[in-house]
Structure formats: C-alpha cells, structure tokens
Amino acid sequence: MSRKPVPSRAPDKFTALKIKQPKQKAAGASAVLVAGKKVTQQAGILRGGKALINLNQTEGVDCPGCAWPDPDDERSSLGEYCENGAKAIAEEAMSKAIGSDFFKKHSIQELSQLTDYQLGQLGRLAEPLVLEPDQNYYRPITWEQAMETIAATLNQLQSPNEAIFYTSGRTSNEAAFLYQLFVRMFGTNNLPDCSNMCHESSGVALSETLGIGKGSVTLEDFYETDLIFILGQNPGTNHPRMLTALEKAKNNGAKIITANPIREAGLIGFANPQKISGLMGATTSLTDLYLQVKINGDVALLKAIMLRLLEMEEANPGTVFDSDFIKSRTEGFKEYIEDLKSHDFHKLCKLSGITPDEVDQATELIQSRPKMIICWAMGLTQHRNAVDTIKELVNLLLLRGSVGKPGAGSCPVRGHSNVQGDRTMGIWEKPPKWFSDKLQQVFKFNPPREEGYNTVEAIKAMHQGQAKVFIGLGGNFHSATPDTDYTAAAIQNCKLTVQISTKLNRSHLVTGQTAIILPCLARTDIDLQAEGAQVVSVENSMGVVHQSRGVLAPVSDQLKSEPEIVAMMAKATLGVSWNHLVTNYDHIRDLIQQVIPGFDDYNKRLRQPGGFYLPNVARAGLFKQGKANFSKIAVPENHLSEGEFMMMTIRSHDQFNTTIYGNDDRYRGIINERRVVLMNPEDMKAMNLQTGAVVNLTSHYQGVTREVHNFKIVPYTLPTKNIATYFPETNPLVPVDLIAKKSHTPCSKSVVVRLSVQASNPKEYIS
C-alpha cells in the first residue's frame, strides 16, 4: 500500500464575497466588539477573560501576536492589547482540543479538503501523533517513542547537514537558545527561520550601514519626534498598538508621511479604543501626506525627495543637511551625492508614481523637522532590491543626522512576537564567528563553522534530496514559504518531518514519509516544571527583553513546553542530559548570559517590571567603528509587458500569517472572501472585467508557468498595473528562485503575473 496523494494547496472554493466601502479609520468600538466576541466564542468567558486581563501586563502573558513593544512605564488596567492581540489569544486559548480519536476518524487527505480557517477552528493539538510511511491516518505515539524515532533517523543520516531545523518567531528565548545549541552540537548550522522570509533584508541593510541589524528607536522616541515616515507597512492590522504611539506623537506635534500603494484605514485615522472618546468615535487623523507609491517605487521616491533636499541645501548651505553629523559620523557622503546628482527628478517621479508636487510636499515636511523616524515592514523587505531600498532610507536618515539621537532613527517593525529574540539567541544559519567561538568556549565542543541553509536553500536541498529530515519549532513551513507546489514536493521528499506545534496546519498534512506532531504549550499556558511554574522571555521590536508567564490550564496533560521538547530531542539524539535546565529556566538563562552580550544579571533584570533594554550601537550613535555608511543605490525599473501586473501578497485584517482568524478584511471593506484580487478600476475597464469577475492568475518567471485558480476581482484604489492578493492563497505563484539580493528573502511583494478571465461578469457576486 502507498499513501494516497495529498493536495499541496488549500481548496479553491469561494465563500460568498460582499464588498463595502473601505474604512477611513481603524479601531474604535467595533474593534472592541469583534475582539470580545472572538475571545468568548473560542476560549470561553473565563479562560478568555483571564488571558486578556493578564495580556501585556508586566507580570502577565506577552501577546503572542506581533512584536510591537509595550509601554515602558504604566500599563492600562483596562487592557494593554488590541483587537488582533485578542484574536491571537482567542485562537491560542481555544478550549477545544483534538487528539488521537479525532485523527483516527479523519485521514490527512480528508483534512486537506478543509480551508486554513477551518483547520485552525478544530482546536489545540492534544497529544503526540505519528503518521507512518504509506499510512493515511495519524495514530498516537508516546513522547519516548517519538523521540526514539527522531533520534534514530537523525543519527542514521550521512551528515548532520542532511537535517533542517526551522524556527518560527513565537519561540521563547529559552527554547530558541537550547534549540540552536542542540542543533550545533548535532553538527549543523541548518537553522533557517521565518526571519529569512521577513525582515532579513532589514537586518542585512542595517548591519552594513549602521552596524546593527536591528532598529535604533524606542517608544519614547516616538513621543519626541518631529516626523514619522512610514513605508510599506499596515500597522492598523499588523501592529495595531503602534497607532496609539502614532496618536501620541501627533498630539505632541509630529507629522506623518506614508508611502503605500494602498490607502490603509489604520494609516488614515485612529479612534483609540482605550479612551472613552475613541470608543465614542472621536478620531485622530494620522497621515498628513499619503503617497500612493507604485509597488517597489520606493527607491525612486526616496531619491526624488533627496534630490530636492540637495537642491535646497545647495541653495542655502547648512540648512538642510546635518553637516556636522555627516562629517564626523559617516562615510561615503561625497560619492553618494555625486551619484544622486546623476538621476533625473522627473524620471524618478514617474517611476515612483508620485507627482513632483507631492514630492515637494514631502520634502517640505522633512526639511523643517530635524528629528525623523522611518518605519517600515514587508512592503519594503520582500522585493528583489529590498536591501537597497532599506539602505536608501538609511541614506535619508544620515543626511538629516537622524540616527543616534532622541526622537530619531530607524524602526523596522518586526512581525512575530519573538522573531528578534530568536535571532539574538543564535537562530541563524550564518552565525557570526564570535558566537561560534563563545559556544565552543562555554560548552567545550566544536560548533560547525560552515554556513547552513536559509529558508529558500532548505527548500531546494529537500527538493534535491540533499536534506532528508525537517524539524519545525513552530510555524507553518509548507504554507508560509514561496512556490507551494515545489515546496510541497520538497517536503514530501523527506524521510521524516517533525512539527512542534500548538495548532493543526497544512504542514501537518503535507509531510515526509514519516511525520510526527509534537504538541506544545503555548504562551498563554501555565508551564509547570519540577521547580514550579516557569516564566520565559522574549525581545520585542525595540530590543526590550521581558518576561512572559502563562496563566491558563493547558487543554491536555500531554502537552510539553518547547524547552522540554528540545531537551528531550537532545537527550535522545546526543545523550546529553539537560533535565536540570528544564526544571527551572533560570538555569537556561544563566547559560545565555555566559554566551550573549547584554544579558548580564539576566534572571534578576528579567524580573524588573518591563524587563530591560539590550545595548544598541545605532541608538548610541556608535555605529560600526564609529561611522555609519552612505550607500550608492541603483533605481530598480520594474518593467511590465502588455497584460502583465505587479502583484503584492498582503495580509488581511483577519489572519496572523497562515493562521486565518476569519474571512473578512474589515478595514478594506472586503467581507467573507479571501480569494480576491484588488485591482484599479481603470485596469478592470481595460480588461472588460466587472466587480466579482472570476480570474485565474499565472506567473511565468524564467519560463516556468505557475497558476492559481478562482479569484474574484474587487475594484480598489491602487496604482494602475499593480494588484494585491492575500498570502498564503497566492504563494503558489511566488517563484522559489525569485529572491532578494543578499538577504535571499522571497519576493512576495513583487510577483509579475497575468490574469486569465474565467467569468467576466459572474452572477454569484453579492453587493
């Protein structure tokens, strides 16, 4: 008998689209209502309420949503969280659980017919399971048997480099540190992580220019700044509490410029749900100048602005550029200016899609405001030239002397709640030499020195049969990665795939010959070990390390914590005993402190209210060897042939990456449907498409045709020839080889596609 085929994609059925007017502000009372409803429906009033009361309080649970920081000082007892934080809790704290009885009844083929939303609704994973070769059903396995299988398979490999150890950014510092130690003691640096698909481009660009791959600002800087420039980010959905910081900045007199192909509600206005006035509908308007840039038109836009600034500086020397800063703290200014002058202003405007008049308005706002913060996220990092774009925005900060001083600096807004901490802990396929040396010195073994696979390289290695075991500490590798069918084939090529997870997702259905599910405790769960309930620690987007303590009784007594699971794998595979580390995580933190700078007195400082800041050379204005670097950047020209569109894959308001909370994208007015293409009405007219028309999309990168079926057209105000779809539904179109230069991040925001019309005026669309 052999296993029946499992489709690599989610079913492509429609769910009955409704379209409303896009909103002009975010949050307000409806956000509170939606949040409350989700939590009580899924987690129950008692469980949900308990988790929410403790959410983001200094001794409570760190929100498992995004990495936006909590205030350093007072926390609101009314609730320090947002609608999407509450949805993350509802999803995680769900009281339903699925164990072996469930899996006995439902084959993986049957489960793969469910949508990602439906998979998540089934409940928390409740016991360890195995899917044996040629079988179609998971069956129960004991933790010990699971570990034996993993250890035996790992130890039979010809080389440790035939195994891949993925991490998703929700993992705590403690689990991440032990995991990388286990993996390196096993003998490989194959530690790809979600960061490879996320802010890797920011890390590369910032390290090379400012000397540290993290942002330089703190929340306090937002309250002191004169100007915030937000590019390629949708905080109303993805970092909702950032709006509170933006509101405070505005009240303190700051201006906001936004560059985004879409007018996002959360960047236009904000009704603060933590204030009575906000609940009553009072709205703070946020963006002062909204630049609807073309997809990947950001370098052209930034250059156009800087050309104008240069003209002003030349007309009135010393009034626009921070000459002292440039002279004493930077390198490469002269070369940069020479290169800048070679560009044509009007051509830049055309490439960016922004009018000269708008560029002038931006320049005006910038030149009169000495303290500037630049924020960005995936709209900049997921392009072929992403590293360059981020270097270009660093150029702007440097011209204005806007780094390393209060109220100014770089702010790459991170995604997963501990993605930054995981990298600090050494989850990286390219560990720096000092890190490997330190591991060697402290743990007395020879860590591998050869670079490991990043995410895209890992997919290819599995595809080519060079890697045979995949272990995922969290995440949903199959659905989050590009080129879904190719990746599925890669995963199915493996001998063994292991998922350490809280919830069922498609990575548990599209598997290797043998697949193991290890169900783990989540952030909100009480983590009881031999010496009592444990706290873990995480690092937010601004480099604050703080604690998180679970408060809910786990849904099953079979769940184990991530550190414990890693320790079990290490024991079974390498014979090392880390029991003492797991009985009390203070012992893990003692080890972290010996290896990683900035963690002195870790256990003590972790228990200070709000935690502690890690050192940051850019914030201190120290940079690399004392100097920050200007970079000469080429302007990308995104040429589209007749019939081609530039597609960005974005998040709806009802999802956390591949976890789908619902089918609505409330702020954009798209209700009850995820299979949509947002398209400019002019482009619709040119193709004779009505609202709700059904299309297939194809990409043709390097001669390979990739296709997805059944998407409905929604008219939307975005630049012509630019379209938007939701991730992960269109990941099958993202070519595995289309990656950013230097950072190797998949270019999920610039996929060239064509549309083929299935029905230009369908009847089933409901207005």
379 binds ligand MGD (CB under 6 A): yes
Q: What is the CB neighbour count within 10 angstroms for residue 587? A: 15
The smaller minimum CB distance to ligand SF4, of residues 9 and 549, is found at 549
> In degrees rounded to 5, what are phi and psi of residue 98?
-120, 130
- DSSP character string of 458-522: HHHHHHTTS--EEEEESS-HHHHSSSHHHHHHHHHT-SEEEEEESB--GGGTS--SEEEEEEB--
The smaller minimum CB distance to Mo ion, of residues 194 and 254, is found at 194
Report the residue from 26, 32, 34, 63 that binds ligand SF4 according to the rule CB under 6 A. Answer: 63
The smaller minimum CB distance to ligand MGD, of residues 184 and 749, is found at 749
Strand pairing category for 139-140 and 129-131: antiparallel
For residue 310, the SS3 value is helix
Of residues 48, 395, 415, 10, the one with CA closest to residue 208: 395
CA–CA gap between residue 696 and residue 701 (Å, rounded): 16
474 binds ligand SF4 (CB under 6 A): no
667 binds ligand SF4 (CB under 6 A): no
Q: Which of residues 244-263 bind ligand MGD (CB under 6 A)?
A: 259-262
112 binds ligand MGD (CB under 6 A): no
Upper half-sphere CA count for residue 461 (Cβ side, 13 Å): 19
The smaller minimum CB distance to ligand SF4, of residues 273 and 621, is found at 273
Specify which residues 162 forms β-bridges with.
none
* CA angle (763 as vertex; 762, 765 as ends), nearest 5: 85
Count residues near ligand SF4 (CB under 6 A): 13
Stretch that binds ligand MGD, among 183-191, 282-290, 426-434, 497-505 (CB under 6 A): 497-505
CB of 622 to ligand MGD, least distance (A): 28
Based on the number of CB atoms within 10 Å of its own CB, is 444 exposed (0-12), middle (13-18) or buried (19 or more)?
exposed
Stretch that binds ligand SF4, among 61-69, 483-491, 581-589, 708-716 (CB under 6 A): 61-69
CA–CA gap between residue 91 and residue 123 (Å, rounded): 8
Q: What is the CB neighbour count within 10 angstroms for residue 289? A: 16
Stretch that binds ligand MGD, among 36-44, 230-238, 317-325, 483-491 (CB under 6 A): 230-238
Decide: 286 and 243 in contact? Cβ < 8 Å: yes
501 binds ligand MGD (CB under 6 A): yes
CB of 239 to ligand SF4, least distance (A): 5
Amino acid at 624: K
Q: Name the DSSP class of 53.
A: H
The smaller minimum CB distance to ligand SF4, of residues 248 and 624, is found at 248
Q: What is the CB neighbour count within 10 angstroms for residue 463? A: 19
Work out what residue 262 binds among ligand SF4, ligand MGD, Mo ion, none; the CB cut-off runs from 5 to 8 Å by kind. Answer: ligand MGD
195 binds ligand SF4 (CB under 6 A): no
CA–CA gap between residue 476 and residue 759 (Å, rounded): 33
Q: Name the DSSP class of 78.
A: T
Residue 464 to residues 162, 191, 468, 489, Cα–Cα distance (Å) = 11, 18, 10, 10
Give just the sign of the alpha carbon dihedral 614, 617, 618, 624: negative
Strand pairing category for 496-501 and 469-473: parallel
467 binds ligand MGD (CB under 6 A): no
Stretch that binds ligand MGD, among 137-145, 502-510, 576-584, 697-705 (CB under 6 A): 502-510
Amino acid at 649: T
Provide the mask over 235-274, with x wherever binding to ligand SF4 is found by CB under 6 A and - wherever it is not: ----xxx---------------------------------
The smaller minimum CB distance to ligand MGD, of residues 82 and 326, is found at 82
Stretch that binds ligand SF4, among 65-73, 143-151, 609-617, 702-710 (CB under 6 A): 65-73
The smaller minimum CB distance to ligand SF4, of residues 63 and 108, is found at 63
Report the residue from 103, 325, 585, 727 that binds ligand MGD according to the rule CB under 6 A. Answer: 727
Rg (CA), the chain: 25
CB of 528 to ligand MGD, least distance (A): 16
534 binds ligand MGD (CB under 6 A): no
CB of 66 to ligand MGD, least distance (A): 4
CA–CA gap between residue 289 and residue 359 (Å, rounded): 10
Count residues near ligand MGD (CB under 6 A): 60
Stretch that binds ligand SF4, among 81-89, 360-368, 568-576, 621-629 (CB under 6 A): 81-89
The position carrying tokens 């059925």 is: 13
CA–CA gap between residue 102 and residue 111 (Å, rounded): 11
519 binds ligand MGD (CB under 6 A): no
Report the residue from 107, 188, 216, 234 that binds ligand MGD according to the rule CB under 6 A. Answer: 234
Work out what residue 366 binds among ligand SF4, Mo ion, ligand MGD, none; the CB cut-off runs from 5 to 8 Å by kind. Answer: none
Work out what residue 731 binds among ligand MGD, Mo ion, ligand SF4, none; the CB cut-off runs from 5 to 8 Å by kind. Answer: ligand MGD
Work out what residue 650 binds among ligand SF4, Mo ion, ligand MGD, none; the CB cut-off runs from 5 to 8 Å by kind. Answer: ligand MGD
Work out what residue 81 binds among Mo ion, ligand MGD, ligand SF4, none; the CB cut-off runs from 5 to 8 Å by kind. Answer: ligand SF4
Q: Which of residues 86-145 bind ligand SF4 (CB under 6 A)?
A: 88
Decide: 462 and 456 in contact? Cβ < 8 Å: no
CB of 530 to ligand MGD, least distance (A): 21
Report the residue from 272, 424, 663, 731 that binds ligand MGD according to the rule CB under 6 A. Answer: 731
> In degrees rounded to 5, what are phi and psi of residue 147?
-65, -40
Sheet with 409-412, side-by-side order of all strands: 289-291, 255-259, 227-231, 372-376, 409-412
Q: Which residues, at least 6 apart from 18, have a Cβ–Cβ distance to it below 8 Å?
A: 671, 672, 673, 766, 767
213 binds ligand MGD (CB under 6 A): no
65 binds ligand SF4 (CB under 6 A): yes
Specify which residues 416 forms β-bridges with.
66
CA–CA gap between residue 710 and residue 379 (Å, rounded): 25
The smaller minimum CB distance to ligand SF4, of residues 420 and 722, is found at 420
CB of 375 to ligand SF4, least distance (A): 14
Work out what residue 82 binds among ligand SF4, ligand MGD, Mo ion, none; the CB cut-off runs from 5 to 8 Å by kind. Answer: ligand SF4
The smaller minimum CB distance to ligand MGD, of residues 628 and 635, is found at 635
628 binds ligand MGD (CB under 6 A): no
The smaller minimum CB distance to ligand SF4, of residues 166 and 661, is found at 661
Specify which residues 515 forms β-bridges with.
131, 497
SS3 breakdown of the chain: % helix, strand, coil, rounded to 5?
35, 20, 45
Of residues 637, 747, 759, 636, the one with CA closest to residue 699: 747
Stretch that binds ligand MGD, among 233-241, 320-328, 544-552, 569-577 (CB under 6 A): 233-241
CA–CA gap between residue 414 and residue 707 (Å, rounded): 31
Q: Which two tokens stand for residue 180?
A: 């990388």
Decide: 742 and 387 in contact? Cβ < 8 Å: yes
The smaller minimum CB distance to Mo ion, of residues 198 and 373, is found at 198
Stretch that binds ligand MGD, among 126-134, 312-320, 331-339, 646-654 (CB under 6 A): 646-654
**Site of interaction with Mo ion (CB under 5 A):** 198, 415
Q: Which residues bind ligand SF4 (CB under 6 A)?
A: 56, 63, 65-66, 68, 81-82, 84-85, 88, 239-241
Q: Which residues bind ligand MGD (CB under 6 A)?
A: 65-66, 84, 168-170, 194, 197-198, 231-234, 237-239, 259-262, 264, 293, 295-296, 298, 377-379, 382, 415-416, 473-477, 480, 500-503, 505, 520, 522-523, 562, 648-651, 655-659, 727, 731, 734, 748-749
